[in-house]
């Protein structure tokens, strides 16, 4: 069986991003998202999540700003660990529960100075961490590199090719960054968000997934499907 988690990062960054994520979830193509708990639209995002219980809600741990500058000293393990714990506790306080999974803004959990801190946090709370869980992480659905936009890479045809080649037996996480552009959120990854949104809401995408008998799930459903995935 092929299982696919379509996870939108940056929930809570702006109302335009929140609304795009809700729209895609209601269309049935997006199953999961991860919340930036300290961003201005986090409250708006949590209100959406409270009314949309089928949407998996993880935590997008944030140690950098939109341009990649560190918000804490990555060389100070105690400061970084304290900040990660603060964010998960704030999530718990605001959402009334733990997140379904953990990942990080700009994938800083890969940094050798930080990786063990993220792994420890996930282990302490019994949560899946991106690239440290049974879900194989696929990150190539992204439309910018070397400071240039590549709309062709996040087109419908490109996404269908990715799904065909990368969604294998077992569990795959496809990350995405859809959103409506809004003046209240300044990000270098801006117009690409609307391209991603238009691609993901194209009916050909969901039809393609269903035609290939790929089952869409969220991280919440991992415990239920793991016994089946382990047999593969």
User: Average pLDDT for residues 206-221, to the nearest whole number?
Assistant: 97
- The whole-angstrom separation of Cα 72 and Cα 111 is 13
**Is the per-residue pLDDT at 205 higher than 70?**
yes
pLDDT of res. 182: 83
User: Average pLDDT for residues 195-223, to the nearest whole number?
Assistant: 97
Q: pLDDT tens across 60-88, in order? A: 999 999 988 999 999 999 999 999 999 99
Question: Helix/strand/coil (H, E, C) string of the chain?
Answer: CEEEEEEEEEECCCHHHHHHHHHHHHHCCCCEEEECCCCCCHHHHHHHHHHCCCCEEEEEECCECCCCCECCCCCCHHHHHHHHHHHHHHHHHHHCCCCCCEEEHHHHHHCCCCHHHHHHHHHHHCCCECCECCCEEECCCCCEECCEECHHHHCHHHHHHHHHHHCCCEEEEEEECCCCCCCCCCCCCCHHHHHHHHHHCCHHHHHHHHHCCEEECCHHHHHHHHHHHCCC
User: Average pLDDT for residues 42-53, to the nearest whole number?
Assistant: 96
CA nearest to 74, candidates 83, 66, 180: 83
Q: Which of 109-118, 155-164, 195-204, 220-229 has the lowest mean pLDDT?
A: 220-229
pLDDT of res. 186: 85
Q: What is the pTM of this model?
A: 0.94
Q: pLDDT tens across 12-32, in order? A: 999 999 999 999 999 999 999
| Domain architecture of the chain: domains with CATH | 2-229 (3.20.20.370)
More confident residue, 162 or 232: 162
Q: What is the mean pLDDT of the chain?
A: 95
- The whole-angstrom separation of Cα 206 and Cα 229 is 22
CA nearest to 82, candidates 114, 108, 130: 114
In this structure, the strands spanning 136-138 and 170-176 are parallel
- The whole-angstrom separation of Cα 59 and Cα 127 is 10
- The whole-angstrom separation of Cα 232 and Cα 39 is 40
pLDDT band for position 146 (cuts 50, 70, 90) = confident
Q: pLDDT tens across 160-198, in order? A: 999 999 999 999 999 999 999 888 788 898 999 999 999
User: Average pLDDT for residues 114-135, to the nearest whole number?
Assistant: 97
More confident residue, 146 or 122: 122
Instruction: Evaluate whether 177 touches 193 at the Cβ level (below 8 Å).
Output: yes
- The whole-angstrom separation of Cα 195 and Cα 192 is 5
């Amino acid at each position: 069986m092929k299982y696919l988690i379509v996870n939108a990062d940056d929930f809570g960054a702006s109302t335009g991003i929140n609304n795009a994520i809700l729209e895609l979830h209601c269309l049935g193509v997006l199953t999961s998202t991860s919340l930036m708990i300290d961003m201005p639209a986090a409250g708006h995002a949590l209100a959406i999540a409270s009314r949309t219980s089928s949407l998996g809600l993880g935590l997008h741990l944030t140690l950098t700003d939109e341009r990649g500058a560190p918000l804490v000293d990555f060389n100070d393990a105690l400061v970084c660990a304290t900040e990660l714990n603060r964010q998960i506790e704030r999530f718990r306080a605001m959402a009334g529960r733990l997140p379904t999974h953990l990942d990080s803004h700009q994938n800083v959990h890969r940094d050798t100075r930080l990786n063990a801190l993220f792994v420890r946090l996930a282990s302490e709370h019994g949560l899946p961490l991106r690239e440290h869980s049974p879900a194989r992480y696929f990150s190539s659905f992204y439309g910018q590199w070397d400071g240039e936009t590549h709309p062709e890479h996040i087109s419908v045809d490109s996404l269908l090719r990715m799904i065909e080649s990368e969604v294998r037996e077992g569990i795959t996480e496809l990350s995405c960054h859809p959103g409506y552009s809004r003046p209240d959120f300044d990000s270098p990854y801006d117009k690409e968000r609307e391209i991603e949104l238009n691609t993901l809401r194209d009916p050909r995408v969901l039809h393609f997934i269903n035609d290939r008998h790929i089952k869409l799930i969220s991280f919440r459903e991992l415990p239920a499907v793991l016994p089946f995935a382990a047999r593969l």
